[in-house]
Structure 1
Amino acid sequence: MSDDFPVGSLLAGLGPEERGELLTLGTGRQYGAGSVLMRQEETAHDVYIVLDGYVKVTAITAEEQLALLAVRSRGDLVGEIGVIDGSPRTATATAAGAVVCRCIGGEAFRAFLARHPAVYDAVTRSVTAKFRSAIRRRLEYVDGSVRARLARVLLEFVTHWGIPAPEGIMIAVGLNQAEIAALVGATERSVNETFAEFRTEGTISVGYRRIVIRDVEALHKAALGCPDGAGRRERAAGQGQ
């Protein structure tokens, strides 16, 4: 596991001494796929620093619908809001595959922030960025067709969690279509149908919790609301004759 944390993560923004001290606090923990780190509405006692793997952050809305709020990965902090302000957890955090993290008690974390005002500022900026991202996603992903919204979500996955694969760019974090539908803000059926369109057009390939983006340019066009790939399919069929 490398000490080079992704740009934009909390740990990447800390100095070596502050980061090193923070990572001596608490205990190391490992979670298997589907394990819950924290639950919505429970009392907040700890924060979690993700060192490896991916963590899904979800919530149940007032309408009893699942909402996928975010995915956190290496260098990200999870659970800080409840620990800082003493409020119940606003979301559930679940391991999406194997996860290694540092679990730090709330009292120790608050004391660390008091000793290091610069880190407190970094945490505040991180929380603000999360809220800005949530607002941006709400604005972008409720506008346009399901096709355009799904394309935007997939492009965000490419940016943050895409890794090279023989057939294109594979999304490293495993999400099912119900979770993606929650992020898109659409029914699972309509998202499944749109996935089928993208597969037929050759834009993506899909397996069990595995998505590979085969044509990023086509996905960008779909995100902008351009017509579907019917023309491309016809051209491909003509070339095959």
Structure 2
Amino acid sequence: MFSAVPAADAATLLEGHLAQVLPDGAEVFAEGAAAEFLFLLLEGEILIQPPGASPQFRLTAGDTVGEEAVLTGMPHAATARAAGSVSLIALPAGKLMAYLESHFEVAIVMISAMAGHLREQVREITELKMQSTAERLASYLLALAGDATGRAVVRLPYEKRHLADHLGMDPATLSRAFAKLRDKGVVASRTDKVEIADVTELRIYGDCAAFTA
């Protein structure tokens, strides 16, 4: 998002920034709140929680947080919370917008980057809503398995309660989804390890099956 900002200008934009370290579950900003800062995520993950029962999604180190509200001047459309301990830099929105008003070419690059990011988020949420809970879980595990074939062991990058949030379900529903996938050779341990007996078979299921939640 800041690729078009010259190094000297970046240093200027960082003047007056706030460095924050937040614990697990801490609120970064609330839905409906005014966008006072643009956040740069240095370490950890942030969970974006849209209103209602929409699936949630995560931002990781290197991502910006809250840019859609800052750049449009609108209130935040979702709540953002720390998923584990996080380290952030908070840039004052007023300083950033004043800079962009006099650097139109940089503003265009930032808006283009934001649009691409939002398209990806909308695609992910749309796909999640169209799948059953078991299919969502299968797709997620396949993404972790990558190009593997045959037997594979993957490790969940975060706790199962956070995985449930990401997939748009509660922990009990996630447990039932894992149970449904046992017939497809998926075995989850009590830790972060998940064994897949045959990635190819699971991939066929992810493409074609029609379990109901």
- TM-score band by shorter chain is 0.7 to 0.9
Unaligned runs of 5+ in 2: 147-151
1:97 partner letter: G
Change (3 A) 1:158 1:45: farther
**Does residue 86 in structure 1 map to residue 76 in structure 2?**
no
Q: Deviations over 1:164-197 (max 9, x none)?
A: xxx8332323451641442xxx676544311123
Q: In the aligned structure 2, how far is the partner of 1:188 from the partner of 1:16? A: 45
Give the match's secondary structure for 1:29: strand
**Does residue 131 in structure 1 map to residue 118 in structure 2?**
yes
Find the counterpart in structure 1 of residue 34 from structure 2: 43
Alignment of 1:17-56 (within 5 A): 17=7, 21=11, 24-25=14-15, 26-56=17-47
**Larger deviation, residues 74-83 vs 192-201:** 192-201
**Contact 2:27 2:79 (8 Å CA) reproduced:** yes
**Contact 1:54 1:173 (8 Å CA) reproduced:** no
Out of 127, 142, 145, the position equivalent to 2:129 is 142
Cα deviation for residue 198 of structure 1 reads 3.0
Give the match's secondary structure for 1:96: strand
Q: In the aligned structure 2, how far is the partner of 1:219 from the partner of 1:120? A: 44
**Contact 1:41 1:88 (8 Å CA) reproduced:** yes
**Does residue 172 in structure 1 map to residue 163 in structure 2?**
no
Cα deviation for residue 41 of structure 1 reads 0.9
Q: In the aligned structure 2, how far is the partner of 1:117 from the partner of 1:48? A: 21
**Contact 1:54 1:72 (8 Å CA) reproduced:** yes
Give the match's secondary structure for 2:96: helix
**Contact 1:79 1:89 (8 Å CA) reproduced:** yes
**Contact 2:144 2:154 (8 Å CA) reproduced:** no
CA RMSD of aligned residues (A): 3.3
Query: Using CA pairs below 8 Å that are at least 6 residues apart, which structure has the higher relative contact order?
Result: 2
**Does residue 100 in structure 1 map to residue 91 in structure 2?**
no
Cα deviation for residue 204 of structure 1 reads 4.6
**Contact 1:49 1:76 (8 Å CA) reproduced:** yes
Find the counterpart in structure 2 of residue 113 from structure 1: 100
Unaligned runs of 5+ in 1: 1-9, 160-166, 229-241
Q: Percent identity?
A: 21
Change (3 A) 1:69 1:194: closer
Q: Deviations over 1:93-120 (max 9, x none)?
A: 1111111110111112213434554542
How many residue pairs align between the two structures? 203
Out of 166, 183, 188, the position equivalent to 1:205 is 188
Q: In the aligned structure 1, how far is the partner of 2:178 from the partner of 2:114? A: 32
